[in-house]
Amino acid sequence: ENFEKLKLIGALCNNATVEKEGDATKEKGDPIEIALIHLSNAEGVVLIDVKKQYERIGEVPFNSDTKIMGTLHKAPNGQLVAAKGSVEDLLATCSKIQFGANIKDINEADKKNILAASEKMAADGIRVLAFGYKEGNDLPKDDFVKELVFIGMIGFLDPPRLDIKDAISSCRNAGIKVVMITGDHPLTALNIAKKVGLVDEAEQHVITGKDLPAMDALSADWKEKILTTAVFARTTPKQKLDIADIYQKAGNIVAMTGDGVNDAPALKKADVGIAMGLRGTQVAKETASIVLKDDSFTSIAEAVAHGRAIFQNIQKFVIYLVSCNLSEIFVVTVLGFIAPAATLLPLQILFLNMVTDVFPALALGVGKGAETVMDQPPRDPKKAIISNKNWQVIVIYAVTITLAVVAAVMYCKQTIVSNDKVANNVAFVTLAFAQLFHVFNMAAVNSKILVNDITKNKFVWLAIVICSGIMVLIYVLPQMRLVLGLQVLPTNVWLVALLASLLPLVVVQLYKISKGKSVLEKQ
């Protein structure tokens, strides 16, 4: 009899909905309430019929302070109050307890036994809700959750997704601290935190909402304790907001997740508010910066990885283009002094800017990022995309390319042919292919030379093939040779130009080997 009443209370004190879509049914609402519907339906309680028979005429919504929800219904023999909430809080509203068909006054021994049973379940990672009811006539429509009959408890096992442990580990490697702030029982929160690798197995420290002092009364020691704690339980939305504020004032960038109306202030306060797309309220979704379609923590880690990859791509794009353009300036300047007749023509420079610069740069912009993207600490958002160290590297790249071009020109003039037009062509070809090969210098920090995010990028190889094909084409077509001031080159001249164009790539890679790190490491 207790269980029948418990099923009824769980079905009535419930805001989840079941909608018919053809032969299928679609459930909407909080996962806990949907689970209660499943329990009721599995045990023969048909939700639609029950709600018709017990028309709801009043509701006390769940409150983060009282941690109780109550509903008032018309009943066949009068009125019925159905209530659910945290065990300790619901017990405080109960004056009686039901055993089978018998109802008696609840005493301290009963409460002690109930709390002990709930804590045992919580220690096993089970979320526990207590249920109570009251029958009567002419009950108040706004203050009816009191003098209840305790009917029982239901445990909900919501095992963490298999991939969440790896996601938390990935965040930790990326310098992201993950903190659990929940309204669950401390033992439940701690059990789940251990399962997902948020804390060690030996960890027993949890801060509860009751432990937290008011914000204006926080000492320096308490602030330090909050910043070093990974699990907060039985907290209110206001406390969630306060914890976010403490982290921000300590200089941290805060991302906060939430799904309820009460979470909106914390989502707005955080630097990045993240709402749940499946079970989140409309208010939470509108307040948040990001909405997770699958409600998965793993998606957050993946979003961070994608964001970092995009930033690195932008950085590589800029470094590549600027270093290439700077090398063109240096080449024109140096050749203007030592071999004026061999300097690049305006149309040749325009060709380089439109072809050999653009395609590899675009390919860098669509790379998937390095495998080590989540093994680096977060960057300071106040820093520029291109740092002073990056500018130094850009100049080094440009100088290296310039030296290779000048060396090729001078070698050809002195040992192969002194023709000024050939020397100009050597400068053009060497610079074009040096810029193409230079794209491989954009590999991520500490990556391997032959296997890295650049060599794995199929668009980089496509860009090189396209640009190389265009270079061959402009020498094959007489009209293009005429427009760009080119002429057919001997094989040995082509060989010198191509070998010289490889020099910047070889020099940078040798530097990486000697230092054991990328020249782009100090960003």
pLDDT, tens digit (0-9, with 9 covering 90-100), for 197-216: 999 988 889 999 989 988 88
Mean pLDDT across the chain, nearest whole number?
90
pLDDT band at 475 (very low <50, low <70, confident <90, very high): very high
205 CB-near residues (< 8 Å, 6+ apart): 229, 231
Based on its alpha-carbon atoms, the radius of gyration of the chain, rounded to whole angstroms, reads 34
Domains in the chain and their CATH numbers? 2-156 (3.40.1110.10), 164-299 (3.40.50.1000), 308-515 (1.20.1110.10)
Residue type at 297 in one-letter notation: F
pLDDT band at 273 (very low <50, low <70, confident <90, very high): very high
C-alpha 34/C-alpha 129 separation (Å) is 14
Tokens 């920090």 correspond to 445
Q: Say what the pLDDT of residue 323 is.
A: 96
SS3 for 490?
Answer: coil
Answer yes or no: is pLDDT of 25 > 80: no
Handedness of CA 239, 242, 247, 253 (dihedral sign): positive
Residue length of the chain: 523
390 token code pair: 């990056």
Answer yes or no: is pLDDT of 483 > 70: yes
What pTM was estimated for this model as a whole? Answer: 0.79
